[in-house]
Structure 1
């Protein structure tokens, strides 16, 4: 598992996207483009929910079927991600979000069969 913590800055989505792409190129090259796009969007949405003095946490797991990307932030969902979630659904086989007392979590699974058509 790969993990990193990010501040809620405008640079974080691009930095996380590059990080995800580099991991994918090493572990699952066929998923590199989708990993980059998905991580950028997950972190972009988390930035909006995270206070200036808080951190977001990104995780990447390599699975037998592909990759799992998770971003956790301390906020509540803002329900403004309609178009973004629609695009995300074209890249992923699974898209899960949940909120609780510790904040918000979004997780996507990427599989090679979707990478070929995206």
Structure 2
């Protein structure tokens, strides 16, 4: 349905808020093909970078490095397609500590920064 939406109004500002977790939990198959397709078209403005296990209605949000998706592969696809949008850490598991939301975001940001630095070092 995303392609139908994009084709309905083919203007530069008609782009996607692309939630990896939502796509992965809703579809059969993989999340890599739509990530490749829409980033190649330059139709993704920003990405909710989160990981999940399982599908609706039984999915569970997990840390970015422990779910069904290979998040490093997602970053490789985005790099290959010259994605220049924004990656936003999104929904992390609840943690038991003084600042659980901040701790989850820090974990996701650390993963993203390290993975992106590693990808950059490969070129």
* Alignment TM-score, normalising by the size of structure 1: 0.31
Q: Which has the larger radius of gyration?
A: 2
More strand by share: 1
* Alignment TM-score, normalising by the size of structure 2: 0.30
